Amino acid sequence: MRISTSRPARRIALAAAAATIAVALTACTGGAGNPSAAPTSDKDYAQLRLASSTAPASWDPALQTSAFDGIWQWTAVYDTLLTCNQDGTVGPGAAEEFEFTDDNTTLTMTLRQGMTFEDGSPIDSAAVKASIEHMQTGGGSGAVRVAGLTIGAPDDRTVVVTSPAARGLLATYMCLSPGIVASPAAIGSPDVDSVPVSSGPYAFDAANSTSGSVMTFVKRDDYWNADAYPYEEIVVTVMTDVTARLNALKTGQVDGAGLSAQTVAEAEASQLAITEWVDATNGIVIFDRDGTVVPALAEPKVRQAMNMVFDREGIAQGLFQGRVDPTTQMFGPETEGFIAELDDEYEFDVEAAKDLMADAGYADGFTIEIPSRTPQTDQANPLIVQQFAELGITVTETPIAGATAVPELLSGRFPMTYISMPLSSGLWAVGQEIAPDATWNVKKNATPELTALTDAAQRAAGEELTETLQEINQYVVENAWFIPWNNRTAYFGTADDVTVDGTPDPYFQVPQLKSFK
């Protein structure tokens, strides 16, 4: 039975529908303000608004990390003993002079006079000694860089850092989180995680910050290098999603933010200023060069063959929108140790690769297991599976994720993985992925020839260092320790009249606060 509705009932229904639409329209047009109508501020350096992809961390100086936009949080409030220049060299910081001597084992620094912490207490050698010792025992990622160092404070302004063995990057570490100048009172306080005591260019403004999402910093005029930081206030808003960061840039909600290869074209089309630089090597890191998991990988010819089945130009165009430069080496074009000719070492030649496999006794291929991580390996792994199949190599993928992903990679379970290895200096690359104790030399592969070179690099400087690094580069490329694909480009967008001075230094890999003009 169908109940027909009466005319008055229909009127009620129509009125209800009309009211609904009216409410919706009212909501659409009724605004308490129009963001675009806000007056644009003149270039008065009153405030710089940055969008960060990194969630705020503890304020404990020992728990700070040394790369990407998470550094804004701590570089605002903590000074460092030395500073990293754009070309990767080290310059003065809180220490106005420094000397690196005795085969790269002794770093002597002279502090500036008259520096104070935010609370007015003096910055002297005792404070610096306490800072580095806190870094050694504070349980952060910087601890390994300062492990085993002896810190001396012969007078108020002199700090002598001594390493038991040559440590070529010791001065560089003093521009990064291990070189933070921390207040002895703060690091001894139970509030060390939540209350920073500034030694840097800005002080944290807790009253105008929101836990976990917005951090506001106010300039300290008594900072020794205050003139290098033009903005009176810096507001860092956490935006983990890159599209949200781009939208915030486009609508003028922020002045600067890190972008991705996927969003940079839209940013360019929106007339945003883009700063770009090479920040990492994309490719495959072979862990099992001794063949303990997959015996075939102990054969250099097999690793060389695996290098030859990838069309690096095609990958650059197809997977990376032509925004990367193909390479076959782990040393970036701007770093010591780079050899341009090495980029021609492994031409795309599947037939020649098959011949190498046959020479090595693996004409029928073998089986390997590689990890898959979303989104890091989503595009690369299908290509790896397809191209290795050309050599008869069967690839199985094992998903890893979350907090356990990196420990699984470092456990040695996998013979290789696709990964983006950050590009810093040549010596940094040796310490990260080549030396016997390097973090990403997972199976601690070593040969007497290579170990002699990596040891020598730690003691070398100047031209000698460059030559030694080139020998190391030559060795690992010829022995196919890696299967690099290309040099990744990083992008940073700025809006309106905010600009980035130059390009980021190779360690922080993001514009430093003083770079914003």
Partner 1 sequence: MIGFVARRAGFSALLALGVSFVTYALVFSNGTAIARSILGVDATEAQVAAKAAELGLDQPLIAQYVEWLVAALGGNLGTSYFTGEPVTSIMASRIPVTLALVGVAMFLTAILSAVLGIASAVAGGWLDRFLQLVALIGTAVPNFIIAIVLVMTLAVGARLFPATGYVPFDEDPAAWALSLFLPVTAVVIASVGPASQQFRGAVKDVLEKDFVRTLRARGMRPTPVILRHVFRNAAGPGIIILGLQVIVLMGGVVVIERVFSLPGVGELTVTNSLLGDIPVVMGCVVFIIAVVIVVNLATDLINAALNPKVRQR
* Residue 8 interacting with partner 1 (CB under 8 A): yes
Distance (Å, rounded) from C-alpha 3 to C-alpha 362? 80
Interface with partner 1 includes 255 (CB under 8 A)? no
CB of 139 to partner 1, least distance (A): 5
Q: Which is nearer to partner 1, 214 or 350 (CB)?
A: 214
In the complex, least distance from residue 14 CB atom to partner 1, rounded to whole angstroms: 6
Alpha-carbon span 430 to 389, nearest angstrom: 31
Pick the binder of partner 1 from 112, 250, 323, 517 (CB under 8 A): 250
Which secondary structure element, helix H or strand E, spans residue 458, and what is its range?
helix 448-459
Nearer to partner 1, 40 or 101 (CB): 40
Within 10 angstroms of residue 313's Cβ, the number of other Cβ atoms is 13
Stretch that binds partner 1, among 126-134, 226-234, 248-256, 343-351 (CB under 8 A): 248-256
Binding mask 407-426 for partner 1 (x = CB under 8 A): x--x----------------
Distances (CA, A) of 401 to 115, 373, 377, 395, 440: 45, 6, 11, 19, 18
* Location of structure tokens 């003691």: 459
Near partner 1 by CB under 8 A: residue from 22, 46, 126, 144: 144
| Listed ranges 15-23, 272-280, 306-314, 501-509: which one lies at the site for partner 1 (CB under 8 A) | 15-23
Q: Which two tokens stand for residue 135?
A: 């870094």
Stretch near partner 1 under the rule CB under 8 A, chosen from 27-35, 98-106, 215-223, 292-300: 27-35
Cβ 345 to partner 1, closest distance in Å? 28
Long-range own/partner contacts, residues 22-26 (CB < 8 A, 24 or more apart): none
Rg of the chain over Cα atoms, rounded to whole angstroms, equals 27
> If binding is defined by CB under 8 A, does position 378 make contact with partner 1?
no
33 binds partner 1 (CB under 8 A): yes
In the list 151, 153, 218, 244, the residue contacting partner 1 (rule: CB under 8 A) is: 244
Interface with partner 1, residue 300, by CB under 8 A: no
Q: 138-141: list long-range contacts, CB under 8 Å, 24+ apart.
A: 138/60, 138/61, 138/62, 138/63, 138/187, 139/62, 139/63, 140/60, 140/62, 140/63, 140/64, 140/65, 140/177, 141/63, 141/65, 141/66, 141/177
**Count of residues interacting with partner 1 (CB under 8 A):** 69
- Does 444 interact with partner 1 (rule: CB under 8 A)? no
DSSP for 126-164 reads HHHHHHHHHHHHS-STTHHHHTT-EEEEEETTEEEEE-S
What is the footprint of partner 1 within residues 175-234 (CB under 8 A)?
192-194, 210-214
Peptide bond into 375 cis (omega under 30): yes
Question: At residue 56, what is the residue type?
Answer: P
How far apart (Å, rounded) are the C-alpha atoms in residues 264 and 258?
10
**Residues in touch with partner 1 (CB under 8 A):** 1, 3-6, 8-10, 12-14, 16-17, 19-20, 23, 27, 31-36, 51, 55-60, 63, 65, 139-141, 143-145, 147, 192-194, 210-214, 237-241, 243-245, 247-248, 250-251, 253, 401-404, 406-407, 410, 439-440
